[in-house]
Every structure is written in structure tokens, then in C-alpha cells.
Amino acid sequence: MGTESRSHAIRDQLYSVLRLVAQTEPGLVNQLVTDALVAFVSREEKSSTKPVAEETERPVDYQIRLSSILSASSALPADTDLEVRKKILTNLIALAHHKRICKSLRYTHPFNIYRYAAAGSSRLLWIEICQRANVDPRELVESRLDDLLKIAFDATNSSVRSCFVRTIEVR
């Protein structure tokens, strides 16, 4: 609902509310946001039935809006138990890399592999979310490698809905 709003102020209020509620109920907020994003990315992309000449509105860039929602819901307080933060971040890895939520890196020059397009977001969303939650992404990957590989394997080898429904138990 918040992603459909044309008003930037309403979307900003949504992000603020998500950040605020994530401070008190991080597990609940992340489960709700995860369920909503899974439902969104599971839907088929709508094809436009209007002729191009009649379109007067700019198309909505859902990637920016959805990545902002995911980022806002992951603003976990520093006093949240480290294992809870790790569990939440582990479960977000597939969503944070989904093509409808996060744009891929693009080359700007064919001879320079280190030069990427500056416009738009990149696949750094998950790392940014980890850092915002005060969790070192490298340490998280090292401590939860098996869980992360299982999620990545499930995401590439099964239907969209089934790979996201699975949650990891806190060890």
C-alpha cells in the first residue's frame, strides 16, 4: 500500500514508522515485511495494456521503494540480542538480492571491470542492512555459512514462494 502512493511524504512516513516499530519489535516487523515482500515478488509482473502514446505518468520504480522498506525494517536496535539480529539478517539474504528488490551492478566501460554505473542501487543492499544492524557481514557469513548456502540453494532451485517461506532456527 505504501509503495503505491504517489506522495513522497507518505512513503517517508511509512519508512519512519517501520524504523520506529523495528526498534521495539524487530522480529515481528521483519516477519511482516518479509511476508509482504515475498507476496509482492511472487506476483507476476503486470504488463501494460495501454498504448504508449496515452501514458502520461512515469512508471513506478518499485526496486527503490521495496529496498527502502526492507532497509527501514532492518534498522535493528543495538541492544537486540546478536543471535536474533543474525537470524533476521540471514533470512533476508535472498530477498535483499532479489531482482525485483535490488538492481544488479552494471558495467559502464567494457575494459574496466571495477567501474560500475553510479545510478541506481546495487547488490550491496544486504551488506548495508547488516551494517545498519551493527553486524559485520563477513562474520555473519563465516558463522552462518551453512544456513546462507541453504537459503541461496533453495532460492535458485525452487519456486519463489517456497524459497522465502523457510526460516532459520537460531542456534
Q: What is the pLDDT of residues 68-107, one digit of tens each?
A: 888 888 888 888 999 999 999 998 888 888 888 886 655 4
Q: Is residue 83 within 8 Å of 170, Cβ to Cβ?
A: yes
Indicate the average pLDDT of the chain: 76
Alpha helix locations (H) across the chain?
A: 8-24, 26-42, 62-73, 82-91, 93-96, 125-132, 137-143, 145-157, 160-165
For residue 116, list its beta bridge partners. 107
Q: What is the pLDDT of residue 94?
A: 85
pLDDT tier for residue 44 given thresholds of 50, 70 and 90: low
pLDDT tens sequence across 112-137? 444 444 444 456 888 989 988 899 99
